[in-house]
């Protein structure tokens, strides 16, 4: 399966093109987070890496402030683009 911009709502296409041009390490990190995320697009991680900090700064992921745990962090993944996230999760299940 391959995702095409035409398969997405118009308001999510800009993010799709933006993702295609991310640096390789950020793409890899985002892909790992997408594959580890649940159906609500939430992923729990042990620590925040520089690549994750960069993705937060670019507003592709955000910290779930309501999650309380001393050694883990909860992240919302591609929260503003639910259709794109769903398609990426489906693609991640194929691999």
Tell whether 50 is covered by a domain: yes
pLDDT for residue 68: 82
Q: Residue 6, class by beta-carbon neighbours within 10 Å (0-12 exposed, 13-18 middle, 19+ buried)?
A: exposed
Domain count, the chain: 1
Tell whether 54 is covered by a domain: yes
Tell whether 59 is covered by a domain: yes
- Tens of each residue's pLDDT in the chain, 95 residues: 688 899 899 999 999 999 999 999 999 999 999 999 999 999 999 999 999 999 999 999 999 999 888 889 999 999 999 999 999 998 887 76
Residue recorded with tokens 């994750």: 52
Q: Residue 60, class by beta-carbon neighbours within 10 Å (0-12 exposed, 13-18 middle, 19+ buried)?
A: buried
pLDDT for residue 12: 95
Q: Are the C-beta atoms of 77 and 92 separated by less than 8 Å?
A: no
38 is in which domain, residue-wise?
Answer: 8-94
Tell whether 26 is covered by a domain: yes
Tell whether 2 is covered by a domain: no
């Amino acid at each position: 399966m391959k995702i095409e911009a035409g398969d997405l709502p118009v308001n999510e296409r800009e993010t799709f093109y933006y993702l295609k041009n991310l640096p390789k390490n950020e793409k890899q990190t985002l892909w790992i987070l997408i594959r580890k995320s649940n159906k609500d697009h939430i992923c729990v991680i042990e620590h925040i890496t520089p690549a994750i900090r960069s993705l937060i700064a670019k507003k592709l992921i955000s910290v779930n402030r309501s999650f309380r745990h001393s050694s883990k962090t909860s992240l919302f993944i591609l929260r503003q683009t639910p259709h794109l996230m769903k398609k990426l999760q489906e693609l991640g299940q194929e691999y």
